[in-house]
Every structure is written in C-alpha cells, then in structure tokens.
Chain A
C-alpha cells in the first residue's frame, strides 16, 4: 500500500494489508493526532487497508502560539 504522510512531504510503500490501528503504531503516530483518509472517506482504527490501496495520513495538530 502507498501511505501519503501529509505535511511531511513523504510517502511510504508498505507490503501487505493492515488494520489502520496497526499501521499507525508502525508509523509511530498517535491516533488522536491524525485522520486516515481513503479517497473521500475517513477510516476507523479497525478498518483494513488493502495492499493495492493508497491512503493519506493527515495531521490534525495545528501549531504555534495562536
């Protein structure tokens, strides 16, 4: 699968299918800090991403002293 890490300007290719929850753990990301997006949908932590799919991991944490 292809994982687009938004705002890091990075993409990673991973072999095999995975649950969203496991994928985030592997990438070292907190589920609270991101949205996992496939096309026009949001994925929950128990959903499985297939080998051939592309997803976007989008950070939700905005920074700076606002």
Chain B
C-alpha cells in the first residue's frame, strides 16, 4: 500500500477516505483536519485559553498534543476519579505529558469535591458508577473552567464515541439527549462555559494511530468499570456497519447534525435557574451534583477537605478559586 501524498510505503489505511498515508503525511493530515474542524465550527481561537479535559487515554492526550503544536493556549485538567491503580497510572501519564512539554496541568480529585471517590459513590448512594462518573466530569470540568477563567472546555470525544452515544439515544428515542448532542455546546447561561469536541469527525482508530506515531505514552488499559458497558456493544455494531460500508459511522453522525438535531433542539427549550447550593445552572432547585454529594454525606462518606488534590506545574494561586466552590458544598 502506498501513501496517497508521497507514494512512499503507507502505515495506515483509511477506507472511508479511500486513502492511505505514510506516518509523516498522516500526522499532517490529522492535525489539519483537527484545526479545520475547530475553525469551521468556531470552537475557539488561538487567543482564547482552552481547558482540555485529559484522562491519560489516547484521545485526550492526542488532542492536547495537537492543540499545543498548533499554537493554541491549552491547559490540561485531570480529574482524579480515585479508581485504584487505573487512576494512579492515568494521572502519571498526564503529569509526564505535561512535564515533557512544559504545559500547565490542573489536577482535581473528585473525592475532594463530592465527598467520595467514584468507586465509593455506588456503595454509598446506589447510583450506577458510570452515571455518577459522567455527571461529576461534566459538572467539575465546567466549574473548574468557570473558576479559572477559561471560556471553553475541549474534550477528546471522537467519531466513534459520538456515533455510539447517538445510537444509544436513538434506540431510546431520548429527545433531551438528541437535542443536546453537538460538537459545540454554546455557553447558553453565564454559569456554563462552551463545550467543544474537536475530534468529532475523526475515528478512534485514527486518534490511536496518531498517539502511537507521535510516541505519546497513553494508558492503553481501560477503566475497570467499562467492562460490559453497553456503549461498547454500540461501538461494535457500528464497526460492523463500517466494515460493510466504509463511511457509515461518519454519515450516521453528520446527517443527524444536519437533518435531525435542529428538530429536537426546537422541542427542548428548558428554563434554567441557579442551584441553591453551588450556584451552577440547573433545572431543579438543587443541581444533580449537589444532590449526589448530599446523598454521599448522608451515607456517611463525606471526605471533602481531605488533601487528595495536588497540583503539577501549577501555581497554587491558580487553584485558589476552587476553594470557594468547595465551601459551597453541603
């Protein structure tokens, strides 16, 4: 197989683009695609500070890498979920990545903010682990961004993630989820920052290839709670479709954005108010995160205030803002 750019030996075939690339030309193609997506979808500019949510996995570290190479003002945020060795190993990857590049990384422990680590939440509240985890990530990335003055949070969600989420929402015909799923969620309220997904047009295999070819030491092992996740079944189904008709995944998601999402969006006009406890926007009196934190507390699991958080490459004054929100917790 030959590279379509230079005719040298190819290292990666992309069937849906009907193309193959050598390492050098693939890396350039990948960067260009990301930058084009950021520009076309008006995700952010090089003048805006961007908070990149990093997990230590291939997608988020590849994203941070591209943003730094392309001259964006990108700071990392690692949320320590407290998931045993997996969290320790993934956090070490993020810290090493930041140190190598002299990039700034904030580290925030979920246990400090919610009163319990992710594995403890289910025992204390019976809320399913991944659901509590997802809620905490959305909430804390937003709050940290607000407090630290970032107008935008970027995540490493790729095409496979987006297509799998969409398939799940369609299988349940979940109108709120369908209205909300977008590569760019504008800051629709002063308590929300913009959320963007610059890799939404790039497949998981491409982000893995990019991370590998760039020599990024990412965590290949998966979170222990992901075993048996339904989203993995969705991904498998979609890969089966893709195998049969290359481009099927991308078409599923992009035609949704063009043709279907606007209709769902019109249905979903929600009224937001400030959470009575933390002030973040919510549809209820007290937001879902604070309700969960309260359940944790009632179950006797309050660990807020224990010194689990640490800062790598971070000026302590930059994290000062976190204290205020922490105090607002019940």
> How long is the Cα–Cα vector from A37 to B157 in the complex, in angstroms?
24
A60 at the interface (CB under 8 A from B): yes
| CB proximity to B under 8 Å, residues A2-46 | 6-7, 30-35, 37, 41-46
Contact with B along A42-66 (1 / 0, CB 8 A): 1111110000000000111111111
> How long is the Cα–Cα vector from A3 to B284 in the complex, in angstroms?
53
> How long is the Cα–Cα vector from A62 to B239 in the complex, in angstroms?
13
| CB proximity to A under 8 Å, residues B50-105 | 57-59
Query: Among the listed stretches B9-17, B108-116, B184-192, B313-321, which one makes contact with chain A, having 4 or more residues with CB under 8 Å of it?
Result: B9-17
B303 at the interface (CB under 8 A from A): no
Min CB–CB distance A22 → chain B (angstroms): 15
Q: How many contacting A-B pairs (Cβ < 8 A)?
A: 93
B57 with A62: CB separation less than 8 A? yes
For the complex of A and B, 3 pairs with smallest distance between CB atoms: A63-B226, A64-B226, A60-B208
Chain A residues contacting B231 (CB-CB under 8 Å) are: 63-66
B208 with A58: CB separation less than 8 A? yes
> How long is the Cα–Cα vector from A6 to B223 in the complex, in angstroms?
14
Closest A residue to B204 by beta carbon equals A60
B13 with A35: CB separation less than 8 A? no
Closest A residue to B158 by beta carbon equals A62
Quick one: given A61-B235, A64-B130, are A32 and B222 in contact (CB under 8 Å)? no
B12 with A62: CB separation less than 8 A? no
B242 at the interface (CB under 8 A from A): yes
**Which of B203, B212, B223, B226 is close to A37, meaning CB atoms less than 8 Å apart?**
B212
Contact with A along B116-152 (1 / 0, CB 8 A): 0000000000000011011001000000000000000
Chain A interfacial residues counted at CB < 8 A: 25
> How long is the Cα–Cα vector from A34 to B231 in the complex, in angstroms?
17
Min CB–CB distance B169 → chain A (angstroms): 12
Of the A-B pairs whose beta carbons lie under 8 Å apart in the complex, a sample of 6, sorted by A's number, is A33-B235, A42-B209, A59-B220, A64-B222, A65-B131, A65-B229
Chain A residues contacting B227 (CB-CB under 8 Å) are: 63
**Which of A32, A33, A43, A62 is close to B226, meaning CB atoms less than 8 Å apart?**
A62
B11 with A42: CB separation less than 8 A? yes
Min CB–CB distance A61 → chain B (angstroms): 5
B13 with A64: CB separation less than 8 A? no
A44 with B12: CB separation less than 8 A? yes
A63 with B134: CB separation less than 8 A? no
A58 with B20: CB separation less than 8 A? no
Quick one: given A35-B208, A37-B212, A58-B208, are A7 and B222 in contact (CB under 8 Å)? yes
> How long is the Cα–Cα vector from A33 to B133 in the complex, in angstroms?
25
Chain A residues contacting B236 (CB-CB under 8 Å) are: 30, 33, 61
